[in-house]
Amino acid sequence: MPGSSGTGAVTRSTLRQQIADALRDEVLGGRLQPGQEFTVKEIADQYGVSATPVREALVDLSAQGLLDADQHRGFRVHEYSADDFRGIVEARSLVIDGMFQALTEGRLPQLRPDEPRVAAALAGVRRRGEEAQRAALAGEVTVLIGYDLRFWRELASVFGNPYLTDFLHRLRVQGWVYAVQQLRGLPDLRGRLWSQHTDLVDALVRRDTDSARAIVEAYNAHSLSLVEASSRA
C-alpha cells in the first residue's frame, strides 16, 4: 500500500539520521579515533539495525568530511592535520565575517534585535551560550562541543540564510573533530577554553559588529594557540 511504503521511507530516513548523529558524537567524543576503520556490517551489528540505513548514514558522514570511504575496506575516520585546522578556522572566519558585513551594510533589515522574532531567537542563542560558557569554564570538552555547535548553528540561522548556516555548521564540526583529539592531551582544561559566547551575542544585539569581529578574531587566535600548545605537550 502507498501509505505503508511512505511510512517505511520516513522510518528509514529517521533511523539514518539517528545513526549519523550517534556516529558523529562518537567521533567528537574521541571514542572513534582518526584513522579507525570499520565496516557497514560492524556498525549495523552494533546498533542492531539493517545495513541500508547504516550505509546511507556513513555516506552522509563521508560527504560531510568526517569519514573516508574505501571501496574494499569500508570506512575510516578522517584524519585532519594542523594545516587542515588552520584552513577550517580561516574558512569559518570568512563566512562569519560575511554575515557581519551584511549586517553592517544594512543588507539584513529583517535582523532587528527589537523585532519580536529576532529578540526571541537571540535570547535562545544567549541561553545556549551560557551553557557553553559553563562547560568551557569547567573544562568539560564533550559537553562544551554539544552546546557550542548548537550555539553557532542557532546564531547563524538568525541571519536567515540556511545554506550559510549548514556550511558553517559543517566547518565547525570538522574543526572540533581535529581539536578534540588535541585538547584531550592537555591535563586540565578548566578556564582554558573559549567562553565569550554571550559577549558575542550581546555585541550583535547592539549591532556592534566591530566588537563582534574582535571577539571572533580573538577566539580564532585562542583556538589556534591552544591547539598548537596541546600538540607540543
Could you give all domains of the chain from N- to C-terminal order, each with its CATH number?
A: 2-77 (1.10.10.10), 82-232 (1.20.120)
Residue 3 has pLDDT above 50, yes or no: no
Better-predicted residue by pLDDT, 110 or 71: 71
Higher pLDDT, 206 or 84: 84
Mean pLDDT rounded to a whole number for the chain = 87
Q: Is the pLDDT of residue 144 over 80?
A: yes
Q: Where are the alpha helices (DSSP H) in 82-208?
A: 82-104, 116-138, 141-158, 162-183, 197-205
pLDDT of residue 125 exceeding 90? yes
Name the more confident of 232 and 60: 60
pLDDT at 10 > cutoff 50 = no
DSSP H or E stretch at residue 77 = strand 74-77
- What type of residue is 144? L
Q: What is the mean pLDDT of residues 152-181?
A: 92
The lowest-confidence range among 71-85, 156-170, 217-231 is 217-231
**What percent of the chain is modeled with pLDDT above 70?**
89
The whole-number average pLDDT for the span 176-185 is 87
Please state the rounded mean pLDDT for residues 6-35.
80
Give residue 4's pLDDT band: very low, low, confident or very high (50, 70, 90): very low
Q: Three-class SS of residue 41?
A: helix
Cell matching residue 141: 570538552
Confidence of residue 184 (pLDDT cuts 50, 70, 90): confident
Residues 170/182, Cβ–Cβ less than 8 Å: no
CB burial of 170-182 (b: ≥16 within 10 Å; e: otherwise) equals bbbbbbbbbbbbb
Strand 74-77 versus strand 37-38 pairing type: antiparallel
